[in-house]
Amino acid sequence: MRLIIPEGYKSLITLKETEKILQILKDHFESGLSSDFRLRRVTAPLFVLQGTGINDDLTGSEKPVSFLISDMRDQVAEVVQSLAKWKRMMLRDYDIQIGHGIYTDMNALRPDEELDNIHSLYVDQWDWEKAIYPEERTLDTLKDAVVKVWQNIKRTEFFIHTFYAEIIPTLPEEITYIHSEQLYEMYPDLTPNERENKIAEKYGAVFIIGIGCNLPDGKPHDKRAPDYDDWSTETVDGYRGLNGDIIVWNKVLDCAVELTSMGVRVDKNELMTQLELTGDMDRVELLFHRRLLNDELPSSIGGGIGQTRIAMQLLKKAHIGEVQSAIWPGEMVDHCKRSGIQLI
């Protein structure tokens, strides 16, 4: 069992207060996200048809929950794991203008997750996607998006403080950018998770650029599917990747926590490059990939922001189960209860 029990931990607010503030927190963050990026809210699917290429296979090994649809000749549907590709199709299908976009309240199941303080079977995210001009597929565009998301997180942190004075803002004003290759050069003998802990503790909040491209040791900092984020393009600074993760230092758990992933999306050339790099060329026949290769989808940037991760971080909670109702191993539930961690 992977579980961190902070010494002397006690929640700063009660379960009743937590339930009350959660919706207020989410409404505030969602409103800022919509305004900052000029996004309209859309309804998200809970499941999609298997074999369309729409569902996200994340790092490539996770298996989605699936079921047969009796009234559709037993076609197989899959519960979504994320909506990275679906959102891009909706930009075109909803005729979203360049410079505008969509966001949705995404609910997903990831049964292969290893459960601990920050990982759950149930994932709830603000998934967003914005249409951009092809010439805007740059590192500057990515960094501009990072700043907007970070400022929204900081505003929400202070907003919570106005409700509960004991929940004191601690996140740094600015976010630090570092490329995964730079991070590797700094700590070549550490694992990716250990590198994240080192850099997050040092700066408080970092955006690690280039998640998915191979580092000098032949392995990526973390795996990314080849068909949505652009992680192989070489940028003006000589590094590769137009995507990344916001990582913060969690002072309750004394570890790094990822709050969001985002990236400039692949064009058809980078799609083919990355499919070849990962050995997934058979995907070119799937619905999503055919539409991209036929120039039917706009250039875009987008990401997924963890709702319960944000809530857990800003409310100073020790376990994601304190802000989300889910299923946990019995041993974990018992240990949390004995340690004063009240799971919903």
Asked whether the predicted pLDDT for residue 57 surpasses 80, the reply is no
- Quote the pLDDT of residue 56: 76
pLDDT of residue 60: 58
Q: Is residue 5 part of a domain?
A: no
**Cα separation, 311 vs 24, whole angstroms:** 11
How confident is the model over 172-183, as pLDDT tens digits? 999 999 999 999
3 lies in a domain? no
Q: Does some domain include residue 27?
A: yes
Angle between helices 139-163 and 307-314 (to 10 degrees): 50
Burial class from Cβ neighbours inside 10 Å (0-12, 13-18, 19+) for residue 148 reads middle
Give the pairing of strands 300-306 and 66-69. Answer: unpaired
Please choose, from the candidates 84, 85, 66, 86, the residue with its C-alpha nearest in 3D space to the C-alpha of residue 76. Answer: 66
Specify the DSSP class assigned to residue 340.
Answer: T
Alpha-carbon torsion (163, 26, 119, 258), positive or negative: negative
Strand order in the sheet with 75-79: 47-49, 75-79, 66-69
Lowest mean pLDDT among 11-20, 62-71, 117-126: 62-71
pLDDT digits (tens, 9 = 90+) for 266-309: 999 999 999 999 999 999 999 999 999 999 999 999 999 999 99
CATH number at residue 198: 3.30.930.10
Helix, strand, or coil (residue 51) = coil
Q: Is 282 helix (H, G, I), strand (E, B) or coil?
A: helix
Residue 109 is given by DSSP the state E
How many residues are given for the chain? 344
What CA–CA distance (Å, rounded) separates 339 from 83?
36
pLDDT in tens, 93-111: 999 999 999 999 999 888 8
Residues serving a catalytic function are 56, 110, 125, 245, 258, 261
pTM attached to this predicted model:
0.94
Confidence of residue 112 (pLDDT cuts 50, 70, 90): confident
Is residue 64 a part of any domain in this protein?
yes
Number of domains in the chain: 1
Q: What is the Cα–Cα distance from 70 to 67, expressed in whole angstroms? A: 9
Q: 10 lies in a domain?
A: no
pLDDT at 342: 93
Cβ proximity of 329 and 277 under 8 Å: no
Domain that holds residue 112: 15-338
Q: What is the dihedral of CA 116, 118, 121, 123, to 10 degrees?
A: 180
User: Residue 118: inside a domain, yes or no?
Assistant: yes
Is residue 2 included in any domain, yes or no? no
**Residue 225 to residue 88: CA distance in whole angstroms:** 15
Give the pair of three-digit tokens for residue 320.
């994601």
In Å, how far from its chain's centre is CA 268? Answer: 23
Q: Is residue 53 part of a domain?
A: yes
Contact (CB, 8 A) for 200 and 178: no
**Helices of type H across 113-209:** 139-163, 180-186, 192-203
